[in-house]
Each structure stands twice: as structure tokens, then as C-alpha cells.
Amino acid sequence: MTWEELIAEPRRRDEHGVLVVLEEVDHDTRTAVFRRAGESFTVRADKVTSPSDFKPAPEFALEVKVLTGEIVDEDAERSPAGSGRARVVAAGVAAAGLALLAARRRR
């Protein structure tokens, strides 16, 4: 897939049926940002393949930090919209009535 083909289609679904939306295009540096399942992915023209190939490259690997608590949203993992790599956990802050999203992006 060429750079032009890639940015010509602002919305598509990947093979899992998940919506992939083109959000940002920098024509000057030939860089595009896609959004999929609540996460952003940057693609550079010299490395273009296809947005459906998005694998969690090392820079986007998720650090799943499970605090003391229980899984409160197991369904999200199974649903097509879920990324399958993040888990929503209720953290040990029930006193404050808060649930934390414990998935964090590694820099």
C-alpha cells in the first residue's frame, strides 16, 4: 500500500472489524496518525504497509499494571471493540469511589 493510498481512506475497518480512523496527516514529514480502539498509532511514509498490520510495536507496548482489585469489565476483553491488550481493573481506591484505568503506555 502506498502512502497516498493509505491516507486516501480516512475510515476503514481492520480484519477484526475494529474501526481505524485517520486522525492526523503531516504532509511535510509524511507522517500519519491513526486511531484504533482508543489508541493512537503513528505511521511514517517510509514504513507504510497497511493500517491493518498495526501490531503493538515496542514503543506502543502496554504495561498492564494490576493494582489490588478485581476485574470489573471482563466483557471489554472479548468484544470486538476491545483492544485485547488492556484490562480494566478496579484499583485499591474504593474508598474514594474511583476505578482506575490501569493500562499505561510505556515511553
Partner 1 sequence: MKPAPFEYVVAGSWDEAVAALDGDSRVLAGGQSLVPLMNQRLVRPRRLVDISGIPGLIERRRGALRIGATVRQAALERSTLIAGGWPLLRQAVRHVGHPATRARGTIGGSVVHADPRAELICALIALDARFTLSSGRAVHGPLQLGPGELLTAIEVPRLQPFAKSAFVAYARTSGSFADAAVAVVLEPDRAADAVLGAGRAGEAEAAVRAGASATDAAALAADLVDGDHHRALVAELTRRALVEAGHA
Partner 2 sequence: MGVASTLGQPVRRREDARLLAGRGRFLDDIELPDALHMAFVRSPHPHARFELKRPGRLTFTAASVAGRVAPPQIVPPPGLTVEPIPHPVLADGIVRYVGQPLAAVVAESRALAEDLAERVEVEYEPLPAVDDPRAGETMVRWEKSEGDVAGAFARAAHVVRSERVIPRLVAAPMETRGALAAMEGGRLTVWTSSQSAHRPRAQLAQSLRMSEDELRVIVPDVGGGFGSKGTLPVETPLVAFAARELGRPVRWIEDRRENFLAAPQGRGISGVVELAFDAEGRILALRGRVLADLGAYLLPSTPIPPHTTAMLLAGCYDIPAVEVFVTGARTHKVPTGPYRGAGRPEAAYLIETAMDTAARQLGVDPIELRRRNFVRAFPHRTALGWTYDSGDFEACLDRALELVGEPEGHIGVAMCVERSAGLFEHASVTRDGEVRVGSVPAGQGHETVFAQIAADKLGLDVDQITVITGDTDEVADGVGSFASRSTAMGGSAVAAAADDLLAGGPGVARFESEQVFTSGAYVAVVEVDPATGAVRVVKLVAVDDAGRIINPLLAEGQVVGGAVQGLGASLLEAVDGAPATLHDYSLPTAGEIPAFATAFLESPSPHNPLGAKGIGESGTIGAPAAIANAVAAAVGMRLDPPFTAEKVWRALR
List 73, 79, 81, 101, residue binding partner 2 (CB under 8 A)? 73
Give alpha helix (H) positions in 1-107. 3-8, 75-78
Cell reading at 45: 511514509
94 binds, among partner 2, partner 1, none (CB under 5 to 8 A by kind): partner 2
The site for partner 1 (CB under 8 A) is made up of 10-11, 21-29, 33, 35, 40, 42
The site for partner 2 (CB under 8 A) is made up of 70, 72-73, 90, 94-97, 99
